[in-house]
Structure 1
């Protein structure tokens, strides 16, 4: 009997021990930077593998569809069959459209990208959605649409980071860091540039730099770079020619080139928006648009295959030099149009590498007039590097990200300083004249107000219905002053909300004012309507604390009624300005301390 009792008691004990071990692992990850570092190592391994895997699938598709070798880049290959070049993007558009049609029937919610996830949702991304984006990106790029794979890289890797954070039940700020680790690993692996990946995460995905995030993000970027090198060799390297000597006089043309790239970036972003607007106004179903976009891309590719895919091969092809300026200008115009049509018509992908390619073209085109500004010391290669960084900043954002990219692909400090001057110029011009990067511009077109990955989601969750008091004092607007004073003696409340005969909000009365008027006024007021205020000032339950604070400031009210909606105007609560500002300040301080690691789980 004892043996039976012992055996039957063993499974619960084992289950308890296993549960305790799981809790310890989760507590270790939540409570220390070492736990985050170990998590970032796992994310870096996954990101490097994901980038290498997606790159291999893309190149395999290029080889099978276009008949080129696995070692060839699509945008620099010679394809004699022009009909194949025309039909491939169209077939890709049809396949993607079918995918989108099936997806629209099964999934209604909007797919969240890493910037939006970190800004609004505390780093929570659906891994399933991330896989869907990666598949869409592979279809688009694999059939030759003028988009890069970086969007799929970062989405999938950030989704893996978010999934790991969810499994470990990490706090909001730690989740945001792991999403940044995924994105850092993806970009680092994609460009063989760990510093670029790390600062991409800091500037664009996390939205800020902190000591807590430094080690996990950098380690993830380094690990992902090593994994991608081991799996894919040197296929991600960007090679440039001789740099030459940089002189102080070279900074003037570099700054001018930065301003030109800023203007070009704004035109490209607005071009994407214009294509999307035209597609919407045409009433063409969303699943048909990629095929129509594929027709345009295919026609352009018949002129030159350099418009196809992201442009890795075309970048190296033109950096070798010897291409006349008028041909470079033609390639730039066609690539810009192909990219705008691809993104605007519904192909999935990003403009990261495409912006580098187009920026290099702008730099080499600028080389001819630059000779008249300087003594001719700036080579087309130098201006190509400056141009690719400056245009990428204009479209993608991240001045330091693009500066470190220039450093890591050239290993030259003088040109890095030159690039820094250009990217700062480009960034300032875009921010002051346009105000958005490509990602945040698309959020703006969707009606979102976010302009970076700074965590503002907590503001949206700190809503009026969570801050208000539901026990409010109400009175009828038609009541006499004597009845009102009898129902609300002095000191029973600070203010009373008035309702009309239909139980709708009519305004607020200050109780001390009613009693002060009886004693001090030379001509006392005779009805409640004489004391009423803020008839058209009120709050709605779904407003956040920041919106409420703005209404308080505008109405000069110490407290306002909360009504259910603008039609019924039923009073559901009351909120004071002091309480709103105090809770907002407390939450803001908590977020700040959590970001710098002062709060523990």
Structure 2
């Protein structure tokens, strides 16, 4: 069947003269449809598990409130244990070099996502979330959407570059279907995963995101996850408050990332198997939910409640602390899921707290707390994900209000730089790797010849005899010796061929100074590597001498062609 379809595709390309990029746009539509359907399938599976196990298909917070105390504790504990067993199975079925993470498959891999391992991890995530784990469901949704796109590309034998791009299209469709934000979904993949907004890649990704959004709206029971209130007009005097909120959100993002890292390290030190670690994480969530049932799940219902009704600051603080502890326990124990939604949750509560305080101090000059909650969502997400453009676009698409843009830009950009200054990385490992690679490339670009110096081992003085020079030529596989005076100043080179001709001219003095040549112009220590490489490529040998400067021609050493080329290879990696 696949062979027939491939033949039909090739014939259509010949008959209608369809170019490669047009074909790719058509495939991105298919990937968008598959991504949306995979997302909806995961959502339906969550609902089915809650109905079958907990007896209710409503929101997890509502389910937690309706359960007795013992069930609140038992549900996430048992769920964590089962999820851990599924993860152990996923590890055993994984190929040695395979990775189920769609980001790595796009950036570092060949676009091939293993099926069994991904399904096992998604099942583990489903159990963790359905049983009350404090973690987002968007991670598994996007992963399944990317898997469908990967299978599509593998089925039709896409080359590696196109397969990676079609997987990115599936991921964008999945995120769009999860949050009803097609532009932000496309920019999430472009900004975080690909690290590029080049139109050659963003075009198909945007098409897939739009298609995914359209398909989700056609499906029965669709409704946006966040019900945003009308954003009011913001006056200029209030903008500094949003900048200050950005500073706090950036600090909050840094604390969140440090807390997640510390939690993972703490659970990794526990002398128990992975299933028991997830069970302990679930037990912590269950114990917290005895007093604060709102820690169950991804927090959609809580965010919507904060956005539509005023909360006392004491309740906001208590919920923020409890949710943070529950999220650290769930994520740190090793549960599979996303921290995208928890970042929005923390940003909402932090913004609401800030807005409550600002409104209490200046009631006539500040907006209602929900306004700051909306901006806080984008600001903390921008800092935690290190993706301010995506965060701004996501909340803008949720509100569909132009009035929100100025506060969003002020808060999100400031939060991004504050979190970046804290050097805590990003909640996505691929972003951390890319930033490290960027910093390494910048460091390499700033290097000069001085940084790649090697000792000059074939140095002779003006009075060095012919026999000594011949011995050095035999010892070192070089064609030139470097001649320096008593002060170490570079005078020129002694070519091997001139010594070979010395026997033909017995009248010539047998010291190095009589054979000196200016065939090789030395490099200056402070020229950049681009200039050095140009000179080395023109030079037939492997090395060139390096002096301090024209005014101070002290021979510092040599630089090799292989060392400079190796640096350029690392720059292009």
1:93 corresponds, among 67, 80, 103, to: 80
Secondary structure of the equivalent of 2:117?
helix
RMSD: 3.9
1:144 corresponds, among 127, 132, 151, to: 132
Distance 1:31 1:369, change over 3 A: same
- Pair 1:349-2:340 in alignment: no
Q: Which residue of 2 aligns with 1:186?
A: 174
Note if contact 2:36-2:173 (Cα within 8 Å) is conserved in structure 1. Answer: yes
1:556-597 CA deviation, whole Å, 9 max, x = no partner?
x9569xxxxxxxxxxxxx972465567778x78xxxxxxxxx
Aligned ranges 1:308-327 → 2 under 5 Å: 308-327=296-315
Q: Which residue of 1 aligns with 2:44?
A: 56
Q: Which residue of 1 aligns with 2:90?
A: 103
Q: Which residue of 2 aligns with 1:471?
A: none
Aligned ranges 1:371-382 → 2 under 5 Å: 371=359, 372=361, 375-382=364-371
Which one is further off, 49-58 or 428-437?
428-437
Output the CA distance in 2 between the equivalents of 1:347 and 1:98: 11
- Pair 1:521-2:509 in alignment: no
Structure with higher Rg: it is: 2
Distance 1:97 1:584, change over 3 A: closer
2:422 corresponds, among 414, 427, 433, to: 433
- Pair 1:284-2:268 in alignment: no
Question: Which TM-score applies when normalising by structure 1?
Answer: 0.72
Note if contact 2:2-2:156 (Cα within 8 Å) is conserved in structure 1. Answer: no
The count of aligned residue pairs is 489
Distance 1:50 1:20, change over 3 A: closer
Note if contact 2:31-2:149 (Cα within 8 Å) is conserved in structure 1. Answer: yes
Distance 1:233 1:451, change over 3 A: farther
Output the CA distance in 1 between the equivalents of 2:159 and 2:227: 41
Q: Which residue of 2 aligns with 1:34?
A: 22
1:299-321 CA deviation, whole Å, 9 max, x = no partner?
11111221111111121122232
Q: Structure 2: state its 5+ residue gaps.
A: 441-467, 483-492, 503-509, 516-532, 545-559
Which one is further off, 291-300 or 252-261?
252-261
Aligned ranges 1:101-500 → 2 under 5 Å: 101-107=88-94, 109=97, 111-371=99-359, 372=361, 375-440=364-429, 449-451=433-435
Output the CA distance in 2 between the equivalents of 1:81 and 1:488: 84
1:37: Cα distance to partner? 0.8
Distance 1:394 1:25, change over 3 A: farther
1:222-278 CA deviation, whole Å, 9 max, x = no partner?
111122222243333411224222111221111111111111111111111111111
Question: Which TM-score applies when normalising by structure 2?
Answer: 0.75
Output the CA distance in 2 between the equivalents of 1:210 and 1:129: 32
- Pair 1:75-2:61 in alignment: yes
Secondary structure of the equivalent of 2:274?
coil
Distance 1:578 1:194, change over 3 A: same
